[in-house]
Amino acid sequence: MTQCIQDSFEFEAHFSRAVTARFDGGAVTSDAGALLLREAERRIGLLSRLAACFDDRRDPSLTRHAVAEMVAQRVYALALGYEDLNDHDQLREDPLLAVLSGKREAGAQPLAGKSTLNRLELSTAQPSRYKKIHCRQEAVDKLLVDVYLEAHEAAPELIVLDLDVTDLPLHGHQEGRFFHGYYDEYCYLPLYVFAGEHLLCARLRTADQDAAAGSKEEVARIVGQIRQRWPEVEILVRADSGFCREELMAWCEAHGVGYVLGFARNERLRKRIAPQMEEAARLQQATGRPARIFTEFDYQTTTGSWSRARRVVAKAEMLEGKENPRYVVTNLSAERWPAQALYEELYCARGEMENRIKEQLSLFAARVSAETMQANQVRLNLAGCAYVLLHALRRLGLKGTGMERAQAATIRLRLLKIGARIRITARRIWLSMASGFPLEAVFRQAWAQLRC
């Protein structure tokens, strides 16, 4: 019996013209804008150095996919919105991704499939028959700070290190799973450190510990690396009350690092600002608008958890029928940072870091479904490097355009998702991009700035 295969699809006519669709367009991609990411990578040299953080113990004569190709393939795919390894069963045939990944025979040889990439992520320090590639985490940590340092021709006047944590939900029985009461779920609790928009640390941690656990060690490592290049630069640590711990504050004081940290409310603090709270209540009642009064004082804990008295800045705020006091502790001087300026201009600016963490999640940092924490840390590294690559595009290519402040997901959807036909000849790879692409002017400007 003859088997018919549908190769033409008829749709509702457009006035007098028939509408017919066929799968005969040849090699077509929806991600032609990713060539801008490739130019950003050329400028910062991220992926080749990331690949060098992996030790490859495979037999070269039996190797079809180099570590550098696999790492680039995975990072570019995450930046373009392909979160699962399963996606690579189709993506491995994409000639554009082969170009991005550095495959010499782009279009002729497939990229790594999901199983090969899975072995890359699951590899351990002790090689086995199927796991012979190992990621050296200390090298990845150093690379993130190196990229930040290289982004500056001279030392900044002030470097602010923002620390924060987020929850990565777990839906299986991953190593180290723990039910966190605050987030009401089983999760990991990674620590992030940013300097402005630059990612300096993405450390996967279990949720059965204090939010500040390990923060002193990460700050010490980052500060040490920064001061190797800029010994005299001023550095400030900024974080919420979850990081207001003696260990971190004492280290900062001993090493000439400033800090401004949120301080959890308590009754003793509330009594100290009673006059200011009363004044704020009178102002709120008189004007009908929220009122705030700032004050400061030296404070020492009664339990002895602090080794010394420290400067506390308080905001006595009265909303409509509700008190809203806030406190921060700092080692910065009142002469340089008066109470109101320290709180409103310096401390509150830390809220911008939440947008940077949201960008990590839009690049699938929460995809921690591997069995081991080490494998999930590798995934966190790859998502972080996808962010670094997109940030390089934003910083170097989109400066002065309407997208210079766009989120990573917006850049992906509006600038990288360009339909194009691909034609490969002996001397050239042609991409014929959609003529009606609405952001062609932004693309042109980004290309020009990246080619400088």
For residue 104, the number of C-alpha atoms closer than 13 Å in the C-beta half-sphere is 3
Question: Distance from CA of residue 159 to its chain's centroid?
Answer: 18
CB atoms within 10 A of CB 257: 21
- b/e 31-65 (16+ beta carbons within 10 angstroms → b): bbbbbbbbbbbebbebbebbbebbebeeeeeeeeb
Contact 303, 266 (CB under 8 A): no
Gap between the Cα atoms of 327 and 264, Å rounded = 7
pLDDT at 4 over 60: yes
Contact 282, 293 (CB under 8 A): no
- 234-270 per-position pLDDT tens digit: 999 999 999 999 999 999 999 999 999 999 999 999 9
Average pLDDT, the chain: 95
pLDDT band at 126 (very low <50, low <70, confident <90, very high): confident
Weakest mean pLDDT among 70-74, 317-321, 393-397: 317-321
List helix spans (H) across 63-180: 67-79, 88-91, 95-101, 114-122, 137-150
Residues sharing a CB contact under 8 Å with residue 34, sequence separation 6 or more, in sequence order: 76, 79, 80, 96, 100, 416
Q: From its phi and psi, is residue 400 left (phi > 0), alpha (psi between -120 and 50) or beta? A: left
Contact 222, 213 (CB under 8 A): no
- 262-301 per-position pLDDT tens digit: 999 999 999 999 999 999 999 999 999 999 999 999 999 9
pLDDT value at position 345? 96
pLDDT value at position 108? 85
Weakest mean pLDDT among 80-89, 117-126, 193-202: 117-126
pLDDT at 1 over 70: no
- What is the pLDDT averaged over residues 150-154? 96
pLDDT at 6 over 90: no
Amino acid in the structure at residue 63: T
Gap between the Cα atoms of 146 and 334, Å rounded = 34
